[in-house]
A and B are shown apart, each in its own frame.
Chain A
Amino acid sequence: MDFTEEQLERYSRHIILPEVGGKGQKKILEAKVLLVGAGGLGCPVGYFLAAAGVGTIGIVDDDVVELSNLQRQIAHSVHTLGMKKADSAKKTFEALNPDVNVIPIRERLDSSNTMDLFKDYDIIVDGTDNFPTRYLINDACVILKKPLVSGAILRFEGQVTTIIPGEGHCYRCLFEEPPPAGLVPSCQEAGVLGVLPGIIGGLQATEVLKLILGKGKPLMGQLLIYDALGTNFRKVRVPKNEDCPVCGKNPTIKTLTDMPEEYCSI
């Protein structure tokens, strides 16, 4: 195990953990994780994964940093206003840990680029803010059999779930179709407590590291719901649906399709 002296120092608190050790840290350094979204969730997930030493972190986001993002999107700053979020996050993560290769992907996911972008990564992290992309990511992960760690936040509530295609549920087992447009308000319309993505993103990053290490039990077949006002965590069981249109026995969804942009946003 050829760590540099600097790496031994940087990762010392990982290496002495029996569940990680030198071998686990090597796995982390060799892992490739794709973050979809460099917003509220993508920032803390990427920040902690970079600190942990995840060797390759891809970031898909075509937005630019705005002042209203800085209340919760901790990888960006007043120095990166107007910059593409993928580039701003790259700058922050690489400053934290030069072991990490951050690949900015300044694109919006759609049915034409998703499969190609996902294929080089071990684990996908969903930190998006709209249902069309969320369903696109789910379907692509099921088709490609890639583990997906999904997070969502609104107001004072957040949710996390880990999807392992072929083993547990998928997003469509939970909600077969997205809700009608306008039914679920967006963060823009409803607001979000700035620290909330830190909690949910922290949980997502933990799930990613557990998957890389092969330790513990992933949040599979379950949805974890956090209510910040009541300081309450609860887990809801989500069984795999045998009739699921994408991961069931006789899937009807075998390729990706785009939903109308205005379908709905969260």
Chain B
Amino acid sequence: MSEIKIDKNLDIRGVVCPYTLVKSKIGIEMIELGQVMEIILDYPEAAVSVPKAMENYGHKVLKIEKINEKEWIVQIKKEVED
């Protein structure tokens, strides 16, 4: 399986809702259509709510993965213009 190319990394560990979404929204606005942003977060609720909100904006969620006890990785591909 080929690795997905990550165009932007966003570290929002320590950030709580709704700022997890605020920062993710601004992050996705900063990449181009078709590019991928990888978010690392540690607020449990955001592992569900951020990907869901990104899908509602029209973007594609490529991966949601719990990487250890407290942290998740979420990969979003930008599919619509802002």
Contacts and interface: CB of A to CB of B under 8 A. Distances in A.
A255 interface: no
A22 B25 contact: yes
B82 A21 contact: yes
Interface stretch (A11-19, A109-117, A161-169): A11-19
A3 B30 CA distance: 13
B82 A23 contact: yes
A9 B26 CA distance: 13
B8 interface: no
A1 interface: yes
Contacts of A1: 26, 29-30
Given A16-B53, A21-B82, A23-B82, A8 B19 contact: yes
Contact of A12 (B19, B53, B56, B82): B19
A16 B29 contact: no
A18 B51 CA distance: 15
A16 B30 contact: no
B35 to A, nearest CB: 16
Interface in B19-72: 19, 21-23, 25-26, 29-30, 53, 56-57
Nearest to A25: B26
A266 B10 CA distance: 56
B82 A8 contact: no
A15 B53 CA distance: 13
Nearest to B26: A22
A93 B45 CA distance: 36
A16 B21 contact: yes
A21 B25 contact: yes
B82 A15 contact: no
Contacts of A12: 18-19, 22
B57 A15 contact: no
Nearest to A19: B82
Q: Which of A3, A8, A9, A22 counts the most chain B CB atoms within 10 A?
A: A22
Interface in A1-47: 1, 3, 8-9, 12, 15-16, 18, 21-23
Contacts of A3: 26
B22 A16 contact: yes
A16 B18 CA distance: 9
Nearest to A18: B57
A242 to B, nearest CB: 37
Contacts of B56: 18
Contacts of B18: 12, 16
A57 B28 CA distance: 30
Nearest to A17: B25
